[in-house]
Amino acid sequence: MIPTEDASARKREIEEKLKQEQETLSFIRENLEKSDQLTNGMVSILSSFESRLMQLENSIIPVHKQTENLQRLQENVDKTLSCMDHVISYYHVAKDTDRIIREGPTGRLDEYLSCIAKIQKAVEYFQDNNPDSPELNTVKARFDKGKELLEAEFRSLLTRYSKPVPPILILDAISVDEELDVQEEVVLEHLPEAVLQDIICIAGWLVEYGRNQDFMNVYFQIRSNQLDRSIKGLKDHFRKNSTSSGILYSPAVQTKRKDTPTKKAPKRPVYIPGYDHDLRVKHLSDALNEKHGALAGKDDVLDIEIDSYIHCISAFVKLAQSEYALLTEIIPEHHQKKTFDSLIQEALDNLMLEGDNIVSAARRAILRHDYSAVLTIFPILRHLKMNKSDFDATLQGTAASTKNKLPALITSMETIGAKALEEFADSIKNDPDKEYNMPKDGTVHELTSNAILFLQQLLDFHETAGAMLASQESSSASSFTSDFSKKLLSTYICKVLGNLQLNLLSKSKVYEDSALSAIFLHNNYNYILKSLEKSELIQLVTVTQKRAESSYRELIQQQIQDYQRSWVRVTDHLTDRNIPVFQPGTKLKDRERQVIKDKFKGFNDGLEELCKIQKGWAIPDKEQRDFIRQAQKKEVSEAYRTFLQRCANISFTKNPEKYHKYRPEEVEEMIERLFDTSA
């Protein structure tokens, strides 16, 4: 049971809390009433604001729409005025551009093209909007006049600034400096850069707007003329310099730059190995030089022409490549090959005509049996074949008739060259045996020296000559190899040497003295062998004739033996035949004494006669001359000494000095003077 005091306290506590809650509730009610008042005030204000906004909107929107319409009208007016100004400007184009068009584009191409563009737009406007107006005819005439002046400017710029390339610059471009590992590319600048850009600009306009291709004809005509003049200028320059200084740049072989020119190589002399100190050889050489001296000046001129032609071939390739590079910047792509084909025709035709003339000259030389003149074709042919790939690359895309010109010339040269080689071989075989044409001293025949000289000169162009012979074979040309060509050339050289050997054998029979015939054949065979050994001819010969060298040595030895038999009639008197058998102190009979006297006399007379005759004969090769002398001295002196010893104790005459005319040493001295006209 809860005590009374506690209950009272609890009651008071509850009453106080209730009172507090009532006060809180009263406060909340007051605040809610104030909040409702504020809300009502705010709603009233917002309602008033909304009402005012609606009034403002109703007032502003009509004004905005009216303003927008006014702005649109203003824009339309501005556009109309602008269009009117633009249209009116077309009516003034002819007048505004009159002065510039009349004065032409020279010196102000950009401004001029700008005026042309205005005129072109005016033409398009009147064509679209008023095709019957007189203004259309006016601006059309002005446009045509402007186009005409642009074409004239194109021609004028090309004509004024297109100059032949200086010969020295061409020589630099085609020469090769062997001392430089990396070759310096020589750039041929045909037109100044500013002028080139103007020409490119005009050409582009004529193609795009002028719808005119006539300027391409103008271009190739002017540039074609300059290409031809450049090559002719090089030819004239080369002739003058070759004539005055002998200086030559030959692209057929690697050449120096112009500051270190390559001198012209002299022609091969008639060279007889080992014969340097023999006067007869000098006489032979002098005779040959005298014979050909009348043609020397003509040959020099021909050499210059050949060298000049070789340079012009290289120059054409280089210049044509340069012209094509220039052309690609100016001419539209689909017209470039055709224009280039036309551009190079004149220069190419002139080169091919000159080549044909060289072939014709060679053909005439063959008819005259002047086969050495045909050798001029070989350096040209070699150079043409060396440059054929460059030619083909340069002429790629041109007409078939253009591309076939060089192959046709090469074929023509190969044909005439092969004919010359064959006829030369036949001429060696059929050279007549004329007694007055034979060397009196049995030295080397002119036919031999000329044949060897021809083969030596041919050796300089062995690849060309081999290919030339191969080109005449009936089999497919594609099957030719360098080994095949080399074998053909070897066969040809062996044929010439074989024909020469047969002819020399026939010629030797002209001599009445068989010993002189042997000396003649010995000298010629020895000359041939030494010439083969001194050059690379022997390597070519051995391709098909392995024993060629030993065969010639055997022939030479055989002729030495044939010559030595001429001394049998001298040494035969020194043999034991018919010498009487006697005892020391025995007196000889008259017949026996006469036999010994006859032997001495026969030996003396034979020795004197042979030495007198053979002293005038020639063996130009000192080594061979000494060998033959020594062998003969040994054979004769040994036989003579033996004979003298056998007759030493025989009393066959009261005047022994009459028969014993020569001591063995004197006999040797007499033989030592054989083959020596200077003794």
Dist. CA 442–CA 468, nearest whole Å: 36
Element (H, E) at 393: helix 388-394
How far apart are the C-alpha atoms of 12 and 497, rounded to whole Å? 164
Give the rounded distance of the alpha carbon of 293 from its chain centre. Answer: 32
Per-residue tokens: 278: 């023999």
Is the confidence at residue 495, as pLDDT, over 90? yes
What's the pLDDT score for residue 447? Answer: 93
Hey, what long-range contacts does 581-585 have (CB within 8 A, 24 or more apart)? 582/650, 584/649
Over pLDDT 90: what percentage of the chain? 43
Average pLDDT of 145-155? Answer: 87
How far, CA to CA in Å, does 47 sit from each of 34, 42, 61? 20, 8, 21
Q: How many helices (H) and strands (E) does the chain have?
A: 23, 2
Nearest partner of 113 among 154, 58, 79, 76, judged by Cα: 154
pLDDT at 455 over 80: yes
Give CA separation, 480 vs 364, 388, 512, in Å.
Answer: 30, 17, 50
Higher pLDDT, 128 or 265: 128
Burial 39-64 (b: 16+ CB within 10 A, else e): eeeeeeeeeeeeeeeeeeeeeeeeee
CA distance 667 to 341: 83
Instruction: Dump pLDDT digits (tens) for 585-597.
Output: 567 788 878 888 8
- Please write the tens of the pLDDT for every residue from 563-617: 999 999 899 888 877 676 666 556 778 887 888 888 889 999 999 999 999 989 9
Count of other CB atoms within 10 angstroms of residue 379: 20
Q: How far apart are CA 490 and CA 189, in angstroms?
A: 48
Report whether pLDDT(292) > 70. no
pLDDT of 283 higher than 80: no
Q: Where are the alpha helices (DSSP H) in 436-513?
A: 446-459, 462-471, 482-508
The answer to whether residue 392 scores a pLDDT higher than 60 is yes
Q: How many CA atoms lie within 13 A of 460 on its CB side?
A: 18
Is 289's pLDDT higher than 50?
no
Query: Of the given ranges (431-435, 487-491, 513-517), which has the lowest mean pLDDT?
Result: 431-435
Mean predicted lDDT score pLDDT of the chain: 81
Find the range with the poorest average confidence among 293-307, 509-523, 550-564: 293-307
d(CA 222, CA 331): 14
- Give the residue from 103, 82, 101 showing the smallest Cα distance to 139: 101
Contact 443, 281 (CB under 8 A): yes
pLDDT given for residue 679 in this prediction: 45
pLDDT higher than 70, residue 113: yes
Instruction: Name which of 409, 402, 411 is nearest 348 in CA terms.
Output: 402
Higher pLDDT residue, 103 or 405? 405
pLDDT band at 290 (very low <50, low <70, confident <90, very high): very low
Kindly state the tokens that stand for 602. Answer: 């026969």
pLDDT at 75 over 60: yes
Handedness of CA 101, 105, 106, 109 (dihedral sign): positive
Better-scored residue on pLDDT, 144 or 428: 428
Q: What is the percent of the chain with per-residue pLDDT over 70, rounded to a whole number?
A: 82
In angstroms, what is the C-alpha Rg of the chain? 56
The residue-averaged pLDDT of 97-125 equals 77
**More confident site: 477 or 209:** 209
SS3 of the chain: helix, strand, coil, percent, to 5: 75, 0, 20
Instruction: Check: CB of residue 191 under 8 Å from CB of residue 199.
Output: yes
Residue with tokens 């090309």: 158
End-to-end CA distance of the chain: 189
Q: Identify the residue whose tokens are 């001819």.
A: 537
Contacts with 270 (C-beta within 8 Å, 6 or more apart), sequence order: 284, 285, 288, 449, 450, 453
Q: Which residue has the higher pLDDT, 555 or 675?
A: 555
393: tokens are 């690359």
Position 226 scores a pLDDT of 94
Distance CA 519, CA 59 (A): 144
Confidence of residue 279 (pLDDT cuts 50, 70, 90): very low
Arithmetic mean of pLDDT, 339-350: 95
Of the pLDDT bands very low, low, confident and very high (cuts 50, 70, 90), residue 553 is very high
